């Protein structure tokens, strides 16, 4: 199963990338580009294009393997309200400079949109295995599901360590100030919540309003935690955005949701994302992976790695539940746009996590 993300023509993209590389490489480079298929098994937002490039530099033949992260075209119903490709580029670059977190080496940025119609950047391609999203890894018959419990736990703990290392970057509020949402709010968390409210309203015209998302937003706004913490948050902190070798991270990807805010945002997201997939296997009566990414285990590992004590994650689970609603609203609208599904009478039938979200809301009285 795949979901269409783009209406771009592959041959046209290759021609345009080749001409553009000739402008950023040394004179006389005469580049050639081989375009591979876009990544379709993971990620639902930015377009990801794999390419090989060869060129001449200093009289020698050079070659590189790259990934192009391309902001989606407006007519293709993008998931997010805004795509700040320069911010993503700078976040990856700064993380690479300030930590040992394995992020790709970013190469060239095209900020104008004049080449492909929207901005993009190129980064080095990293070889590794990714826990798949489609069909989710916990459905079975894949390398992570079939691994030993010890290797699964090694992957879990090493990924939690990535969060700990990111959150340890000093003075993140200033270093990553460009990621602080440009919305009203006295704290970074309040500004992030205002951004989510705006994102929801952005999604409504193409698909309709969601009662459960609005319940969640109302509860969040009425129960905003009194924290001013602002660490670097990866944002889309889940194993489907990591390349692994021998169950250890070798590439931390997908920075379009990066922000500054409380550390609980990332810790909750990595737990909640797995719970979303687990709720689907439960409905399908599949065994799933209930022993994996359990909240108590993730929290304990994180607190050991950082020496900090996390606040309860309930508020952040509701926050993430709302964000997943919006993602499903946008991906559903896009599937309708591309003729992959019919418009449902009840848009919340698109919310694969709805039973999970209802249980989270019931727990907090929302």
Residue 52 annotated as catalytic: no
Determine how many CB atoms are found less than 10 A away from the CB of residue 315. 22
- 55: pLDDT strictly greater than 80: yes
Where is average pLDDT lowest: 2-11, 149-158, 192-201, 286-295? 2-11
Tell whether 107 and 184 lie within a shared domain: no
- 5: pLDDT strictly greater than 50: no
Average pLDDT over residues 31-46: 67
Tell whether 59 and 119 lie within a shared domain: yes
Tell me the whole-structure pTM to 2 decimals: 0.93
- 323: pLDDT strictly greater than 70: yes
Average pLDDT over residues 48-60: 93
Are the C-beta atoms of 42 and 64 separated by less than 8 Å?
no
The DSSP code sequence of 224-241 is -------EEE-SS-SGGG
Q: What is the pLDDT of residue 11?
A: 85
Q: What is the pLDDT of residue 165?
A: 98
Of 133, 236, 254, 266, which residue is the catalytic one?
A: 236
Q: Show the domain range for 77.
A: 10-124
- 229: pLDDT strictly greater than 60: yes
Tell whether 107 and 226 lie within a shared domain: no
Q: 149-167 and 264-283 helices cross at what angle (nearest 10)?
A: 150
Q: What is the pLDDT of residue 74?
A: 85
Burial profile 164-187: b = 16 or more Cβ within 10 angstroms, e = fewer: bbbbbbeebbebbeebbbeeeeeb
Average pLDDT over residues 141-152: 98
| CATH assignment of the domain containing 52 | 3.30.200.20
- 1: pLDDT strictly greater than 80: no
Tell whether 157 and 27 lie within a shared domain: no
Average pLDDT, the chain: 93
Q: Which residue is associated with the tokens 């799933």?
A: 288
Q: What is the pLDDT of residues 67-120, one digit of tens each?
A: 999 998 888 888 998 888 999 999 999 999 999 999 999 999 999 999 999 999
Tell whether 205 and 326 lie within a shared domain: yes
Instruction: Flag whether 263 is in a domain.
Output: yes
Average pLDDT over residues 269-298: 95
Tell whether 290 and 189 lie within a shared domain: yes
Average pLDDT over residues 344-363: 96
Where is average pLDDT lowest: 38-47, 286-295, 333-342? 38-47
Count of structural domains, the chain:
2
Question: How far is it, in rounded angstroms, from Cα 231 to Cα 261?
Answer: 5
Determine how many CB atoms are found less than 10 A away from the CB of residue 141. 8
Tell whether 149 and 95 lie within a shared domain: no
Rounded to 5 degrees, φ, ψ at 44 are -125, 5
Q: What is the pLDDT of residue 2?
A: 45
- 43: pLDDT strictly greater than 90: no
Instruction: Flag whether 26 is in a domain.
Output: yes
How large a percentage of the chain has pLDDT more than 90? 87
Tell whether 113 and 147 lie within a shared domain: no
- 6: pLDDT strictly greater than 80: no
Q: What is the pLDDT of residue 23?
A: 95
- 259: pLDDT strictly greater than 70: yes
Question: How far is it, in rounded angstroms, from Cα 167 to Cα 183?
Answer: 22
- 322: pLDDT strictly greater than 60: yes
Are the C-beta atoms of 270 and 237 separated by less than 8 Å?
yes
- E strands in 138-290: 231-233, 242-245, 248-252, 259-261
The model's confidence at residue 8, banded by pLDDT at 50, 70 and 90, is low
Question: How far is it, in rounded angstroms, from Cα 198 to Cα 90?
Answer: 24
């Amino acid at each position: 199963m795949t979901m269409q993300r783009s209406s771009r023509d592959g041959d046209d993209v290759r021609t345009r990338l080749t001409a553009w590389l000739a402008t950023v490489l040394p004179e006389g480079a005469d580049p050639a580009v081989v375009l591979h298929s876009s990544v379709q098994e993971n990620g639902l937002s930015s377009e990801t294009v794999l390419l090989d490039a060869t060129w001449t530099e200093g009289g020698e033949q050079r070659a590189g393997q790259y990934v192009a992260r391309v902001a989606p075209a407006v007519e293709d119903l993008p998931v997010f309200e805004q795509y700040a490709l320069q911010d993503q580029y700078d976040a990856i670059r700064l993380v690479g400079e300030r930590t040992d977190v394995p992020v790709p080496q970013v190469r060239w940025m095209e900020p104008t949109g004049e080449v492909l119609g929207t901005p993009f950047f190129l980064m080095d391609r990293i070889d590794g295995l990714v826990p798949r999203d489609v069909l989710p890894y916990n459905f079975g018959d894949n390398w992570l599901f079939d691994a030993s419990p010890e290797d699964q736990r090694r992957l879990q703990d090493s990924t939690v360590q990535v969060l700990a290392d990111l959150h340890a970057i000093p003075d993140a509020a200033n270093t990553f100030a460009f990621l602080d949402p440009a919305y009203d709010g006295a704290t970074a968390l309040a500004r992030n919540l205002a951004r989510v409210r705006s994102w929801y309203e952005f999604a409504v015209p193409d698909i309709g309003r969601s009662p459960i998302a609005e319940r969640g937003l109302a509860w969040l706004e009425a129960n905003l935690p009194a924290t001013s913490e602002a660490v670097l948050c990866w944002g889309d902190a889940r194993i489907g955005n990591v390349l692994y070798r021998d169950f250890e991270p070798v590439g931390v990807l997908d920075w379009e949701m990066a922000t500054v805010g409380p550390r609980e945002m990332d810790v909750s997201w990595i737990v909640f994302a797995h719970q979303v997939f687990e709720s689907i296997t439960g409905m399908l009566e599949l065994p799933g992976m209930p022993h994996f990414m359990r909240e108590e285990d993730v929290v304990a590992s994180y607190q050991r790695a950082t020496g900090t004590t996390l606040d309860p994650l309930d508020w952040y689970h509701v926050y993430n539940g709302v964000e997943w609603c919006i993602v499903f609203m946008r991906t559903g609208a896009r599937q309708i746009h591309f003729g992959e599904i019919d418009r449902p009478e009840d848009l919340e039938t698109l919310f694969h996590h709805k039973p999970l979200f209802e249980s989270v809301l019931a727990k907090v009285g929302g």
